[in-house]
Amino acid sequence: EHSTLYGPGWSVATPNRHSEKPPPSGGGGVTREEFARPVGAQRQLGRAAELFGSVPEHAADAGDDPRRIEAVIRRAGEEIGRAYGENDFGMDRLNRAERAQAGIGELSGRQYNKRFRLLRRMEAKLARIVHEQRRYEVVMTGKGAIAHTLPYESFATDPGTAAFVAYLTARGYMRSVFTDGRQRRPYDEVADALFQRLRAEPERTDWYVVAHAHPTAEVLGHLSDEELSLLLARWSRFLRTVAELLEDAWNRCALERDTMIVRPGNDSSTWNQAAQAWSTARAHWFALLTELGREDFLDRVCPGKVPRLMAADVAYWHRKSGGGLHPDTSVWADLPLPWKVLRGEEECTRSLVEQVCARHGVDPGAGGWTAPRPAAEPVGYRRTPELVHGVQVVDPLMASALRSAGVFSGKGRRAAAGEWL
């Protein structure tokens, strides 16, 4: 059954070992080792099974599957003569005569209203689940590309491949640090050592798996045209999905585009998550176009980079330490908005990007505006620090005390936790 709830990039049909894993389930449990997952509709499905005879008991994972939730809403709605989407409590409910005509005259007004309200709430819940699962997928992809979509059988074929992809992805998932400098790069000396093992045994390495996390020209050169095309199609769909999230965040509260400094009312979390995902997707997309010899496509469509929003205190810190506005921000401000470019509403060609970059003193090739970035050099290995709201703390016990006390959170500290100090 076709549903209009699930937009582009939500699911991709690909054959055999190249197939995607479905979106991760969301039980709502959160630990320090994982991202916050969407809360499913398990409770609502249980209540629907109590009120509607046509709704059976469902397994726990059903509450995380939007299609199964929608099917329940439609099936239960048929029991009370309600069509999917009829949510107006004043106009869409059936009166006593209409309930009798629909064959449910034995239901009292109170019992009917109880069922009607539940289905209305379930539709609202379904919309939230779809949105939050997309956002979760965007966060995961922005941090670690699409390695998390690999079927385990493909991932585990070669231990060397698995070790490299797992390590690089884990490094990408590290939390951001509160700093006036650059964030730590995922590709460090350990990642490079693991990659050298792959180079030493190229016939054993599953390069298609590696390309999910590390799309350098060397890696992509081992792939077939079919594998390159599959990855390009997936990233193209994902770019459109992220563009929709960026547009939604932009329309809810227009940002200060010339500075990209957070202002009251800005949804900086959604924007920054989508901007990071856009950067990752765009980098993979550029690399794949280049490997396929389709750089000419960028002569017609070359969407720009999207900067993250910066907190005012961090911007002030940059200025005090001798820094300033990054030149890329000025280039972004002078180019068409990327979602309008992808929809064909505005043109953003490679020549236009080059002109804007020249106006602001930016190298379009080295800066990743019109070509893939050069392969990253490995950075020195450093142990992962303990973070308290982005601030590095050396001692884990002190970090625990600061975290429980609410230090660096921007909120008032709790007295009980403060006694730790």
Query: Among 353, 329, 357, 326, which Cα is nearest to 341's?
Result: 353
Query: Among 164, 154, 235, which Cα is nearest to 193's?
Result: 164
Task: Return the biggest CA–CA distance within the chain.
Answer: 78
The structure tokens 């599957």 sit at 65
Residue 350 confidence (pLDDT):
96
Per the CB < 8 A criterion, the answer to whether 376 and 191 are in contact is no
Task: Tell me the CA end-to-end span of the chain in Å, nearest whole number.
Answer: 59
Residue 16 confidence (pLDDT):
36
Residue 412 confidence (pLDDT):
64
Residue 393 DSSP symbol: E
Q: Mind giving me the DSSP string for 294-362?
A: -GGGGGTB-----PPPB-HHHHHHHHHTT----HHHHHHHHSPPHHHHHTTSS-B-HHHHHHHHHHTT-
Per the CB < 8 A criterion, the answer to whether 90 and 110 are in contact is no
Q: What is the pTM of this model?
A: 0.78
Instruction: With H, G, I as helix, E, B as strand and everything else as coil, classify residue 392.
Output: strand
Give me the amino acid identity at 313.
D
pLDDT in tens, the chain (421 residues): 223 333 333 332 233 333 334 334 333 333 355 677 889 999 999 999 999 999 998 888 899 999 999 999 999 999 999 999 998 988 999 999 999 998 998 999 999 999 999 999 999 999 999 989 988 999 999 999 999 999 999 888 999 999 999 999 999 988 777 666 677 788 999 999 999 999 999 999 999 999 999 999 999 999 999 999 999 999 999 999 999 999 999 998 878 999 999 888 888 889 999 999 999 999 999 999 999 999 999 999 999 999 998 877 777 676 777 777 888 999 999 999 999 999 999 999 999 999 999 999 999 998 899 999 887 788 888 777 777 777 877 777 888 888 888 777 766 665 444 444 4
Residue 305 confidence (pLDDT):
96
Residue 110 confidence (pLDDT):
93
Residue 387 confidence (pLDDT):
76
Alpha-carbon distances of 110 from 107, 116, 119, 155, 377, rounded to whole Å: 8, 10, 15, 54, 68
CA dist., res. 356 & res. 171, Å (int): 34
